[in-house]
Amino acid sequence: MYRHLDNILQLGIKELRSLARDPALMLLIVYAFSLGIVASATSLPETLYRASIAIVDEDRSTVSRRIVDALQPPYFVAPVYIDRTEMDEGMDAGLYTFTLDIPVNFQQDLLAGRSPALQLNVDATQVSQAFTGAGYIQQILSQEISAFAARYRQDAEAGEPVQAVVRTLYNPNLVRVWFGAVNEIVNQITMLSIVLTGAAVIREREHGTIEHLLVMPVTPVEIMLAKVWAMGLVVLLATVLSLQAVVQGWLQVPLQGSMLLFLLAVCLYLFATTSIGIFFGTVTRSMPQLGLLIILTLIPLQILSGGRTPRESMPEVVQNVMVIAPTTHLIELAQGVFFRGAGLDILWPRLLAITLIGGAFFVAALSRLRKSLQ
């Protein structure tokens, strides 16, 4: 038993040394868990976030101040007061995504029931924010004007027969960066663990060291376990550093639950994804082939596992198929831990599913590795 453990330890150290001498993979690890997460979490937001807006307040009334006060972060940056002559110049220069003109006597005409008009200019070149931003502003204007008019006009006192009180839990301001950062952590763990282990197998073949292993008193199980623990340790350490420095420090994402519970799930998840990487390394013959195969695998995992869209909105057949993907369970576990503060008593079925899936992938990869060595 001691000899087997020593073989696994020494072979794993060899893998770490080989990885340290590969600058391309080292650079990929650093980028993926730093700038890769930041870029993915903050680019092209689906919801409005810190859009620039300028106000031409020609009325200077109570209702105009209510409108301006409602256009606040995180949807908008602090509104800037400008003159009518600066509207077109600011839009042409790209200083403002939205400009709102509140005309003279707006409050007076509103209380008199004359239905005054507001002018909203939108910079449509800011495609990611122009479409949703106009709808946000219209909704805010409608709510504020209706609330103001209801205090002074008798026909608005009746109101709606039922009033819905909405409470937004876990992410009150609907900040997409929170969700995107955690989701991207899972994506990078998946990608790096498969790439590193697959590259380790191909590197053995390209450098001719696979023949050296065949004449040594080591077994395929020892070879595989060495690659699993070595590459898994690298990804695990990168995950811890990224969660602390990038997600919590740089992006200011509040992580609510137990970090140890998530890292335990990551360890079990790495057991599955590193096995997939070894399987791919035995199927392919070169790094370009490995890259193409990983692309074909990662895209369905990212899109269909619930990381980008809720699984409930997918066809039932897709939901049933993706149950066998470990990424599905890790994403749900990460959201449960970091957003809802869920514990082991709630998330143990996810841990069990990841363990069983990882065991199945390990057996399949070990069988393929034995055949390739023969």
Say what the pLDDT of residue 358 is: 92
Question: Left if phi > 0, otherwise alpha if psi is -120 to 50, otherwise beta: which for 47?
Answer: beta
Query: Under a CB-based contact definition with an 8 Å cutoff, are residues 119 and 100 in contact?
Result: yes
Beta carbons within 8 Å of 325's beta carbon, 6+ residues apart: 301, 304, 305, 357
Q: How far apart are CA 95 and CA 216, in angstroms?
A: 67
Grade residue 173 by pLDDT with cuts at 50, 70 and 90: confident
Stretch 5-26: mean pLDDT: 89
Q: What is the pLDDT of residues 262-319, one digit of tens each?
A: 999 999 999 999 999 999 988 888 888 888 999 899 888 888 888 877 787 788 898 8
Is 313 exposed, middle or buried (CB count within 10 Å of its CB: 0-12, 13-18, 19+)? exposed
- The residue ranges of every structural domain in the chain are 2-44+174-373, 53-156
User: For residue 349, what is the DSSP state?
Assistant: H
Model pTM?
0.76
Calculate what percentage of the chain has a pLDDT beyond 90.
Answer: 42
Segment of 209-223, 234-248, 294-308 carrying the highest mean pLDDT: 234-248
| pLDDT in the model for residue 156 | 43
CA 100/CA 65 separation, integer angstroms: 13
CB contact set of 154 (below 8 Å; sequence gap of 6+):
none
Q: How confident is the model at residue 211 (pLDDT cuts 50, 70, 90)?
A: low
CB 358 within 8 Å of CB 274: no
3-state secondary structure of 126: coil
* Residue 179 in this model has a pLDDT that exceeds 90: no
**SS3 per-residue string spanning 302-342:** HHHCCCCCCHHHCCHHHHHHHHHCHHHHHHHHHHHHHCCCC
Could you tell me which residues come within 8 angstroms of residue 84 by beta carbon, excluding any fewer than 6 positions away?
56, 58, 101
pLDDT at 70 over 80: yes
| Mean pLDDT over the full length of the chain | 86
pLDDT tens, position by position, 108-162 = 888 888 888 999 999 888 766 777 888 889 888 888 888 887 775 444 445 555 6
pLDDT score for 213: 67
The CATH architecture of the domain made up of 53-156 is 3-Layer(aba) Sandwich (3.40)
